[in-house]
């Protein structure tokens, strides 16, 4: 992400004299990187608030802050107010927590964030063109919460923080969350660079709505507690959070990517790049109601990682046109809400499965899986018990491993117009499992299966296998089921 250009000299010359501009240097801040500027900066913020709002301006320099603003309540952060634009000249304007050998000077404090909202209902606040340095390398211990920008809310109200924007900032080395949002509405977090934070890069914790997170570059965040780069889009207490847009972010080397927790609805997660998540973790995990997850690129993740995992959703949605490479499990849908899974491309040498459907009636249409499961009990397209009435159509599977191309363990599943190529020895292209009744397998093309084109397992009832093309397969249909119909197939 490019560094924002510093403000022009003309702007710098004029800004100290413009009405509504509160230059922290005017209030005694030095920005010399060695003087504690906490009290002077707070004086500028307070004066701006007294006058009804304005811009609090940080010229280029390094402004150290400490617990000097603690009034005895255990909170040493810089407090900001409504109607304030807190801005610098770009990344050369640095606000930094003063460090000690181990941060023990802050131990016992409840908060030592860089910026903290002065109440649970601030409105019309903008942070822009600043570098915020949490100095966590020198703060191995410290206050209970040490965050970058902390927007606190109220559990008892609730009251809300409205119209909050964080843009064009460089936030790094924060011991906890870089940007923490509680009870916030109409929030925009855009075009920030967030690196090396112990917890989440962006945490939207409680009852958020109308949130946009767009164009942020996030790297190496969350490792202290194996947390997400973008976390808890809605962990609402009363299921009221709605309308989140998470787009065009780049997330690299975080344990997890994006999480949308239960309690909300109407989320778009699109055009993000997520790479190098940890083993046994996920790139995108979602439980919120009505989801659109589309056009994301997920690749080069570790070990037993998951691409997209959706659970506990009753409203449904779409997972479409994503590219997933190098995860153990590609797309997992396990919920009652109907999902359309379409146009995705999944590539791996050893999938557990590419797409797994469970819990509801889903459609799996027009996807491409390159590299089928290494687990002989799995299918590249795996319809589990409970996904009754699902449709698997127009998909393409290629690769050579021991697993299945398509495996159905549910009732009333339609498997049609798929192309399955090249199962190796021990593999089966299409399998109807013992728990499956009333499945229909028709108009599929199976090419060069060296062992089995279609297997109907003992215990499967009333399977219909018709009008398939088994071009070049060593074996066509093995029927161990009950009341199957196998007719009009081409060997």
What is the structure's pLDDT at 234? Answer: 39
The answer to whether residue 109 sits within a structural domain is no
The answer to whether residue 249 sits within a structural domain is no
Running DSSP on this structure, what letter comes out for residue 458?
Answer: T
The answer to whether residue 20 sits within a structural domain is no
Closest CA to 265 of 208, 331, 182: 208
Residue numbers of the domain that contains 396: 341-491
Q: How many C-beta neighbours within 10 Å does residue 417 have?
A: 15
What is the structure's pLDDT at 128? Answer: 98
Dist CA 79 CA 75 (whole Å): 9
93-97 and 391-393 beta bridge pairing: unpaired
What's the whole-number average pLDDT of the chain? 84
CA distances from 480 to 461, 465, 468 (A): 10, 13, 18
| Chain centroid, CA 264 distance in Å | 15
Q: pLDDT digits over 13-28, tens only?
A: 455 546 689 999 999 9
The answer to whether residue 366 sits within a structural domain is yes
Least confident of 17-26, 61-70, 102-111, 414-423: 102-111
Q: pLDDT digits over 109-149, tens only?
A: 777 889 999 887 899 999 999 999 998 875 555 656 788 99
The answer to whether residue 169 sits within a structural domain is no
Number of H helices, E strands in the chain: 2, 50
Cis peptide before 158 (omega within 30 of 0): yes
Count of the separate structural domains present in the chain: 1
The answer to whether residue 489 sits within a structural domain is yes
447 CB-near residues (< 8 Å, 6+ apart): 419, 420, 421, 422, 471, 472, 473
Asked whether residue 2 carries a pLDDT value surpassing 80, the answer given is: no
Q: Is the separation of the CB atoms in 206 and 180 below 8 Å?
A: no
Q: Which helix (H) or strand (E) covers residue 293, if one does?
A: strand 289-294
The answer to whether residue 362 sits within a structural domain is yes
Asked whether residue 416 carries a pLDDT value surpassing 60, the answer given is: yes
Least confident of 66-80, 228-242, 265-279, 303-317: 228-242
Dist CA 201 CA 456 (whole Å): 49
Dist CA 401 CA 354 (whole Å): 13
What is the structure's pLDDT at 3? Answer: 47
How many CA atoms does the CB half-sphere of 223 hold within 13 Å? 14
What is the structure's pLDDT at 57? Answer: 98
What is the structure's pLDDT at 178? Answer: 92
State the pLDDT confidence band at 375, using cuts at 50, 70 and 90: low
CA distances from 330 to 197, 371, 489 (A): 27, 11, 31
What is the structure's pLDDT at 440? Answer: 98
- φ, ψ dihedrals at 441, nearest 5°: -120, 105
Closest CA to 246 of 235, 238, 262, 234: 234
Running DSSP on this structure, what letter comes out for residue 461?
Answer: B
Least confident of 84-98, 165-179, 442-456: 442-456
| Chain centroid, CA 191 distance in Å | 16
Higher pLDDT residue, 394 or 157?
394
State the pLDDT confidence band at 328, using cuts at 50, 70 and 90: confident
First-to-last alpha carbon distance for the chain, in angstroms, is 56
Q: How many C-beta neighbours within 10 Å does residue 488 have?
A: 10
Q: What average pLDDT does the segment 34-61 reach?
A: 96
Percent of the chain with pLDDT over 70: 81
- Is residue 355 helix, strand or coil? strand
pTM of the model: 0.90
Dist CA 313 CA 172 (whole Å): 34
The answer to whether residue 372 sits within a structural domain is yes
């Amino acid at each position: 992400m490019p560094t924002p250009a510093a403000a022009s000299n003309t702007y710098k010359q004029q800004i100290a004299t413009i009405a509504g501009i509160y230059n922290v240097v005017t209030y005694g801040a030095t920005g010399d990187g060695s003087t504690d500027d906490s009290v002077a900066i707070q004086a500028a913020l307070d004066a701006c608030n007294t006058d009804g709002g304005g811009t609090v301006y940080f010229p280029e320099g390094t402004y150290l802050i400490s617990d000097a603003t603690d009034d005895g309540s255990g909170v040493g952060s810089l407090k900001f107010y409504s109607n304030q634009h807190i801005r610098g000249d770009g990344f050369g304007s640095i606000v930094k927590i003063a460090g000690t050998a181990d941060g023990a000077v802050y131990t016992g404090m409840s908060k030592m964030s860089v910026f903290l909202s002065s109440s649970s209902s601030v409105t019309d606040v903008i942070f822009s063109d600043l570098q915020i340095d949490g100095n966590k390398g020198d703060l191995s211990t410290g206050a209970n919460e040490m965050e970058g920008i902390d927007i606190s809310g109220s559990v008892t109200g609730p009251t809300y923080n409205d119209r909050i924007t964080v843009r064009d900032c460089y936030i790094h080395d924060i011991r906890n969350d870089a940007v923490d949002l509680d009870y916030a509405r109409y929030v925009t977090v855009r075009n920030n660079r967030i690196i090396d934070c112990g917890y989440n890069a962006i945490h939207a914790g409680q009852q958020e709505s109308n949130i946009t997170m767009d164009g942020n570059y996030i790297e190496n965040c969350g490792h202290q507690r194996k947390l997400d780069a973008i976390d808890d889009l809605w962990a609402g207490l009363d299921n009221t959070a709605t309308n989140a847009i998470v787009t065009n972010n780049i997330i690299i080397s975080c344990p997890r990517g994006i999480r949308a927790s239960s309690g909300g609805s109407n989320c778009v997660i699109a055009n993000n790049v997520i790479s190098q998540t940890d083993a046994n973790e996920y790139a995108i995990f979602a439980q919120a109601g009505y989801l659109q997850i589309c056009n994301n690129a997920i690749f080069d993740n570790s070990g037993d990682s998951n691409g997209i995992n959706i659970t506990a959703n009753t409203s449904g949605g779409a997972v479409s046109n994503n590219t997933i490479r190098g995860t153990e499990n590609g797309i997992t849908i396990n919920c009652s809400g109907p999902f359309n899974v379409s146009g995705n491309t999944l590539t791996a040498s050893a999938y557990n499965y590419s797409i797994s459907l469970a819990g509801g009636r889903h459609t799996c249409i027009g996807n491409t899986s390159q590299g089928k499961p290494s687990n002989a009990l799995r299918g590249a397209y795996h319809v589990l018990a409970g996904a009754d009435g699902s449709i698997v159509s127009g998909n393409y599977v290629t690769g050579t491993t021991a697993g299945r191309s398509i495996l159905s363990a549910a009732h009333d599943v339609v498997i049609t117009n798929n192309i399955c190529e090249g199962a190796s020895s021990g593999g089966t292209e299409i399998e109807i499992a013992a728990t499956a009744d009333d499945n229909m397998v028709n108009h599929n093309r199976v090419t060069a299966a060296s062992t089995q084109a279609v297997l109907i397992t003992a215990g499967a009832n009333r399977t219909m296998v018709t009008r398939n093309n088994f071009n070049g397969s060593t074996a066509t249909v093995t029927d161990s089921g009950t009341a199957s119909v196998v007719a009009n197939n081409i060997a």
